[in-house]
Amino acid sequence: MAIPLLCSTRNAHKLGEIRAILGPAFEVWDLSTIPELGEVEESGVTFEENAALKALAASRYFDGWVLADDSGLEADALGGEPGVRSARFAGELATDSDNRHLLIQRLLALPSQRFAARFRCTIVIAKNQKIFGTFHGTVEGHLIPEVRGGGGFGYDPLFIPEGHTVTFAELPAELKNTLSHRARALHAFRNWAAEAIAR
Ligand code: IMP
């Protein structure tokens, strides 16, 4: 039987990827089922702190397992920016397109032509307002200062994963979902869950 899992997000793209990666072994719910939970302030300075804040906040309203994903992009030439501020790089109300535009401007202002970068994802699992596990995933690659491809979300059209020549937004979703930072963190979670949750 599928394991119910509340995903502490309102990001439909993240949710879709998490559902696709975890597959039918998990019945993944999202925060639309918990309207009483307001916006969780991501006041942490690391992905782990923010994922823990989101997992624990949702766990106050849900008896079962809660999963929170905090993720973002780190560009070496920008000293790790946008990092934990990836979602609000261009401001609190910024759209993905605003954020991409700002990143492109920042990259074009640099002398280098090749911009090493990585996506990071931290997954925190909570239940009854306690943290049971923290899982990390990273994918290395580089950024291009132009939008390429119509798939994915966020910074996908600017990011070429190592070993590939096209952006995450140009790769089929199924392929992104085997090699992404999120896929890697969720793979570690799934291994843990096979022992700790599924009996
Ligand atoms: P969070 O909701 O604070 O974890 O923000 C995550 C932000 O990082 C997103 O809004 C995107 O801008 C970026 N991000 C995280 N994962 C991905 C991805 O898989 N592709 C593209 N951008 C991502």
Measured between alpha carbons, how far apart are the two ends of the chain, in Å? 11
Q: What residue ranges of the chain have pLDDT lower than 70?
A: 199
pLDDT at 124: 98
Determine phi and psi for 140, rounding to 5 degrees.
-85, 155
What's the CA gap between 130 and 165, in Å, rounded? 42
Which ligand 1 atom sits closest to the C-alpha of 42? 3
Predicted model pTM: 0.96
Domains within the chain, CATH numbers bracketed: 3-196 (3.90.950.10)
- The catalytic residue among 30, 69, 70, 96 is 70
pLDDT at 77: 95
pLDDT at 199: 56
pLDDT at 60: 95
pLDDT at 114: 86
Mutate to test the pocket of ligand 1, among 8, 89, 144, 153 (most ligand atoms within 8 A of CB): 153
Q: What is the pLDDT of residues 99-139, one digit of tens each?
A: 999 999 999 999 877 899 999 999 999 999 999 999 999 99
Q: Using CB atoms within 10 A of its CB, is residue 187 exposed (0-12), middle (13-18) or buried (19+)?
A: middle
Structure token digits, residue 109: 């202002």
pLDDT at 100: 98
